[in-house]
Structure 1
């Protein structure tokens, strides 16, 4: 039987469901009379003689002198309001909630003057997936987080945001984990096989450091702030750069038409959104969120938490001020940010704190804040936008190695990374021929500074401390992490793109010019996509090609102390063709085939060297000043190079059905499927341990005088007049995040204005990994009073796959409409059938290798959470995570 606490929890949920049924207050169907007030956006002056048309409700009206018009609707729900002014048509989507409701529509001055500026017609259909807020607001299994819909579109593979070591520790972490091969970085998502750190995220056109809180729990933006978002997975427009993977462009609230407050409360988080007009020309938007999984799960039902579950505590905030200075000028100021604190596992907490304090110790603390300002000037044919933002990112990481017998800290350190990004853009949109030809051009500048510093290094074991100092003296990468490091660089770009449309043909030729101060590169990248649409059948044929560049992103890669400051920009080529079919403005069928090629990928390189590097490391100079005077120039391993190459190819299928706005009930949702393969090659010589030992002994007696590359091979010339050819015998391997099959099914059914049910099913092929085949005992570990075993990995890298990931989530919504707003009660059953989805393996260094037991599987408790309980016979049962919440709109 279930533990008492969980039984109480289930009873509470059942009681809540009964209450939802009892408080149902379904309004009788009939006419809903709604008054629309049409005002000029900049001045708030009423606009008469404006025609309002709602086809689905078969209702029309014309505004009077007060800008007022009343329309009749058969049911509550979302409707498309068409506003006709001087033969120009504007479309608004509004929710009808109750009889007697008032809705304010603000018309921009340029629209009244007779020109329809930027809209859906300016957007490409190729390799782009767009979602509006009302489509994703109640996505099942995400606690009302709309941005998680990103993970349900074709070509998206979920990454590993946090591993053994975050950020700059990614490669140094191999000293601890011993993993012999990797061709990826830690990050949130991969788009069509691109690197997880090679995407760019934008919010309102400003850089967003990362889209999700630690562990992909939820987005860093309030759900109700997100108006829509675009996902560009290939051949994206010329305006977007600094990326070789893909683009996530999120649009937030850009105008306030009415005062409203939305409060969302559930078992694991609370968020609030508020928008208001301070004066007719000045509006403010603010929102915030706080989660509390540790409080709920560790206090309410600690027995149900998996032993290796990790829960990050986080909060985020957004604030925006919108000033419509005049009909032509608009100014906005905004700030947004986030903070995450990652905890160790419950097992680790019990060991280190004796089980007295249920709060896990903090292992990772990261946060960012972006402050931005934008000015927009609009005329009949021009739109000029000037933007500037500054983003500050900090990451505090704590690493501890404890004796498993005594919990004594053998070694500990803290590390702090700070990153400062300044971004500026000047953009001009010129509507050369209305509806036919538009020019989008601009310049962008980015400056970045990253600082790294180790702090509070401690050890209670003298022997380990000596080993630690030896590691500092012998490993430049580890030394730069501990002693501190800094990089600075600048990037500039200019872009231009024509957007033409004529008799079904669309074409978007563009060009982008990128510069990077680190390598002093100047790269010109062409972009082209277009297609033809048969207007009678709404069938579109699409094709596109684009070249993209991105500069190095990690401090250890560019470090002048331990890395290669001369690294080039990475390059990618995106090619795709597709066909899209629209039916009745409700159904969309889309099929795309793609092939992306990735070149100049930055990879760890054990052979690249600089024969004439200055001897400028402070620690080495202090330890041996005479050598610094005697040999001011030395040969130094650069550790990283642009030797990597890869490709990704496949086919994507996307089927989407929107709910018919003319009907109160109906089904909606989408299906996405991707079949692809992604491979990488690091182009590194694979030597045996004996070959490495022989080369190391030989090179101690000679100096490297010159190095060059012959294809992908290195040719070295030494002081003994001997040449050495380092032959590249590497081979292609599966990408660490390759998933052969990705299937997402999202569906919902609205029974009436009160009840709605939805589901989400996900299936992914398991990611590749290099299996452990045996383990070796470390005799020297007896110094610390323990026996340690170090795993030995297969020589066939990425030769096996984890088990497939699959999960089903359910959400039930009950919506009560009132004159002042609505209350939405919702119940979510996350991971409905309690699936344990594997995320990797864990090797216990205190035990020998045993097939099927050590290493043991690790399960994903963040992307695929579950609750464990005990049957009467003592066996474990896995249950869905239950989330009950309430959203209130005032």
Structure 2
């Protein structure tokens, strides 16, 4: 323990030194107004001359053309003159003045009302998509004249911001949207409605060129994605997939190739909370994890938190995936249809009653099961999912939402009799069926521009059924041994949740959010039914007595209730703090646990380009997912905490630095973390069974202990120009210490990967053709430790020695390529032809490693060879 703390502390000191060096190296930017320009101004209006100057200097300008068109300007030439001199000539006698703010040249009326710091006023509003009417969450709103004047929209698009005059100039910026600079007049109005346009490639923003996006309360360890950022990546089965983007982010890795089990900062797959319109989804993937379970065409945006969790989230200890579905266009119908080599999908949205009631629906279905059986007899598998959302606006103050989701996976593999050893043959049939259902009703009310509330009731259910039938025939001389087995596993869990939360943003230095919640978990019986018979022929047949084993989790239900509160505070113009508290009370049978979980995220803004964050979060997870294998395959089940298995708890601290280098060309992020976890569970690889009753208890099948993870993450991103992409790298450690296993010694976690590297590249030749490439690398994992109780090791000494002798793991690396050909038929109707080549050089990466229950042999199985996918999408 002392050594581990020494390593962690040494690592922290080295990281702090690195961050200090980087901070010292940040230099002040040069004054834009000193830029030298050469141009010949012809006679014309002031607005046209300013546009000519903007193009000659190549610098960002922000101004309104309306008041400038009436001022004529005479012809004049400038040779290597300062920009400030040229502007003085142009604006002389016009009543306008110029200034540099946030690396933008602002031009506006010279006469301004004297500001009285003691007379704050409040502007309130809502921001929507101009075309669809969709409320936009997380829009950055800045007062360019005052660094401390800023906020962002909440989940329903509302904002409030103080002012000290009756006029306020704001700069709005949002991912994939045109930046907007707007002047508001009058205060304390009921509501200001602002609409933003999607930024299409090739469109010029002449009036406003915004500087970098600075979010006042930018959460540390958060990844924010939209469909536009996913659409260019190579596609499996022709489908644009959420997982394709997410697993290229630093700190997030896929357990094994195609497994879909995502590991976040040394956690386990069950420690990730997936929220779809605020309802918990237990099954996150299709096809053993090859595709995410939610169609990206149904998604408005997704926020992924790896640390610095806001107080409103709870129930998992590694990450939160908050996915918001599209609400539907208020005025127009549009959608898409996509057909690929393995699956097809569609989406449609529009008004039921214009400007009142909308709908959005999206679905997918794979059809490769119709022809895969031609190439692989006995194999049949497919998936399908459907999601929808209804919205009705009673007024700008009240609207209701109804969301629904359903997904299914079916898999069946029947093998003919195959020889597995000399004189030994096996015939087997494996089936797996999974199903997810979810629904949520939400009422959103706006009391004023500063106070909004949401009341929601949701339901979610997950079911899994696996069966394995086999005949094992062994022939020795004149004796034939026939072993027949029939094993079936069924499990499931469902949730019913009610939640009320409110956000109060009076403006100024505080923004409050608080809420209460109640959740009830119901567990379907988890049962294992195993019947084994053995025939001895031809001398004498003999049949073992069938064995039926059943393990039932008490289905009386598990109850959780609690509250949360958070305050986003502006402590100074450069220092901001988000501090919150999440309280949870857990009840199961006669057991109860209480948890007080503090959270804080502090941000210091050095200048408009560079900032640093420090965050701490405590999380608790009352549910555990136990896997019956040492792999990431979904042969597992959910159980509640009890008197013998306590809730999992994690404490995580993060430190990060964000900024821009090379004059804003590249975005740089360096982040470190340290996380300790308690009461983590691991399913025993082998265990002694002294009676049928001890075999049937799930509590006897697990070992609990502590986990530790720490590392540093690095990302470099280019988001402008024809060539775009990013590089992400993570150096990390993850360990487990189980007192009853491995003599209590600490060992590397089975998902520990020392190095993770991702390179994402896209090049747009023109408005029709773009190329993409994604390369991923994970270093060779250490051999996993067999989870065997120390007291049972003497009985499994042979198996442990065999396991160590046969373990051979491999590093993971893969290259995917994609080509997109875009065409436009008419206004609003486009087509995209995508050709993707996955695993270009046919690397045999392991899909999973399997530990034999008889001889502890560890073998890797590959699933994804080189694959070519073709898909066509029509957007209308």
TM-score by length of 1: 0.66
- Residue 369 of structure 1, aligned match among 432, 437, 440: 437
TM-superposed CA distance for 1:588, in Å, is: 1.7
- 1:273-312 matched pairs, under 5 angstroms: 273-280=347-354, 281-299=356-374, 301-302=375-376, 312=381
How far apart, in 1, do the equivalents of 2:439 and 2:267 lie?
Answer: 29
> Do structure 1's residue 824 and structure 2's residue 838 form an aligned pair?
no
How far apart, in 1, do the equivalents of 2:302 and 2:551 lie?
Answer: 39
How far apart, in 2, do the equivalents of 1:656 and 1:561 lie?
Answer: 41
How far apart, in 2, do the equivalents of 1:80 and 1:271 lie?
Answer: 29
- Residue 606 of structure 2, aligned match among 534, 549, 553: 534
- Residue 657 of structure 2, aligned match among 554, 579, 599: 579
| Other-structure match for 1:110 | none
Taking a change above 3 Å as real, the CA distance of residues 797 and 598 of structure 1, as seen in their structure-2 partners, is farther
How far apart, in 1, do the equivalents of 2:655 and 2:385 lie?
Answer: 39
Residue aligned with 1:671, SS:
strand
> Do structure 1's residue 220 and structure 2's residue 293 form an aligned pair?
yes
After superposition, the C-alpha distances for 1:633-688 in whole angstroms (9 at most, x for unaligned) are xxx9952678401100110001122134xxxxx011111111011010111165xx
> Do structure 1's residue 510 and structure 2's residue 588 form an aligned pair?
no
- Residue 735 of structure 1, aligned match among 749, 752, 771: 749
Taking a change above 3 Å as real, the CA distance of residues 576 and 89 of structure 1, as seen in their structure-2 partners, is farther
| Other-structure match for 1:158 | 254
How far apart, in 2, do the equivalents of 1:488 and 1:798 lie?
Answer: 45
Residue aligned with 1:793, SS:
helix
TM-superposed CA distance for 1:298, in Å, is: 3.7
| Other-structure match for 2:109 | none
Taking a change above 3 Å as real, the CA distance of residues 855 and 86 of structure 1, as seen in their structure-2 partners, is same
After superposition, the C-alpha distances for 1:14-53 in whole angstroms (9 at most, x for unaligned) are xxxxxxxxxxxxxxxxxxxxxx99699699xxxxxxxxxx
> Do structure 1's residue 883 and structure 2's residue 869 form an aligned pair?
yes
Residue aligned with 1:836, SS:
coil
Is the contact between residue 239 and residue 343 of structure 2 (CA under 8 Å) also seen in structure 1?
A: no
Question: Which sits farther off after the overlay, 366-375 or 393-402?
Answer: 393-402
TM-superposed CA distance for 1:431, in Å, is: 0.1
Taking a change above 3 Å as real, the CA distance of residues 580 and 801 of structure 1, as seen in their structure-2 partners, is farther
> Do structure 1's residue 86 and structure 2's residue 184 form an aligned pair?
yes
How far apart, in 2, do the equivalents of 1:792 and 1:555 lie?
Answer: 22
TM-superposed CA distance for 1:189, in Å, is: 1.6
Is the contact between residue 239 and residue 340 of structure 2 (CA under 8 Å) also seen in structure 1?
A: no
> Do structure 1's residue 493 and structure 2's residue 565 form an aligned pair?
no
After superposition, the C-alpha distances for 1:759-805 in whole angstroms (9 at most, x for unaligned) are 10000123333599xxxxxxxxxxxxxxxx99723399799662101
Residue aligned with 1:792, SS:
helix
| Other-structure match for 1:522 | 594
Q: Report the RMSD for the aligned CA atoms in angstroms.
A: 4.3
- Residue 745 of structure 1, aligned match among 751, 759, 763: 759
> Do structure 1's residue 335 and structure 2's residue 439 form an aligned pair?
no
> Do structure 1's residue 646 and structure 2's residue 702 form an aligned pair?
no
TM-superposed CA distance for 1:211, in Å, is: 2.0
How far apart, in 2, do the equivalents of 1:232 and 1:219 lie?
Answer: 18
Residue aligned with 2:396, SS:
coil
Q: Kindly tell me the number of residue pairs found equivalent between the two proteins.
A: 652
How far apart, in 2, do the equivalents of 1:89 and 1:328 lie?
Answer: 12
Taking a change above 3 Å as real, the CA distance of residues 834 and 510 of structure 1, as seen in their structure-2 partners, is same
Is the contact between residue 491 and residue 637 of structure 2 (CA under 8 Å) also seen in structure 1?
A: no
TM-superposed CA distance for 1:433, in Å, is: 1.9
Is the contact between residue 290 and residue 316 of structure 1 (CA under 8 Å) also seen in structure 2?
A: yes
- 1:374-393 matched pairs, under 5 angstroms: 374-378=442-446, 379-393=448-462
How far apart, in 2, do the equivalents of 1:161 and 1:376 lie?
Answer: 41
Identify unmatched segments of 5+ residues in structure 1. 1-35, 44-76, 100-118, 164-186, 353-359, 473-477, 610-614, 621-635, 661-665, 687-728, 773-788, 867-879
Is the contact between residue 806 and residue 858 of structure 2 (CA under 8 Å) also seen in structure 1?
A: no
Larger RCO (CA within 8 A; separation ≥ 6): 1
Taking a change above 3 Å as real, the CA distance of residues 125 and 795 of structure 1, as seen in their structure-2 partners, is farther
- Residue 734 of structure 2, aligned match among 672, 678, 701: 678
| Other-structure match for 1:705 | none
After superposition, the C-alpha distances for 1:805-824 in whole angstroms (9 at most, x for unaligned) are 10000000001112141110
How far apart, in 2, do the equivalents of 1:162 and 1:265 lie?
Answer: 22
| Other-structure match for 2:716 | 655
Is the contact between residue 821 and residue 834 of structure 2 (CA under 8 Å) also seen in structure 1?
A: yes
After superposition, the C-alpha distances for 1:679-722 in whole angstroms (9 at most, x for unaligned) are 10111165xxxxxxxxxxxxxxxxxxxxxxxxxxxxxxxxxxxx
Taking a change above 3 Å as real, the CA distance of residues 637 and 403 of structure 1, as seen in their structure-2 partners, is closer
After superposition, the C-alpha distances for 1:445-482 in whole angstroms (9 at most, x for unaligned) are 2111111254886555479997565x65xxxxx4426x
- 1:770-849 matched pairs, under 5 angstroms: 770=784, 792-794=799-801, 802-819=809-826, 820-840=828-848
| Other-structure match for 1:692 | none
Residue aligned with 2:623, SS:
coil
After superposition, the C-alpha distances for 1:306-325 in whole angstroms (9 at most, x for unaligned) are x9xx8741000001111111
| Other-structure match for 2:27 | none
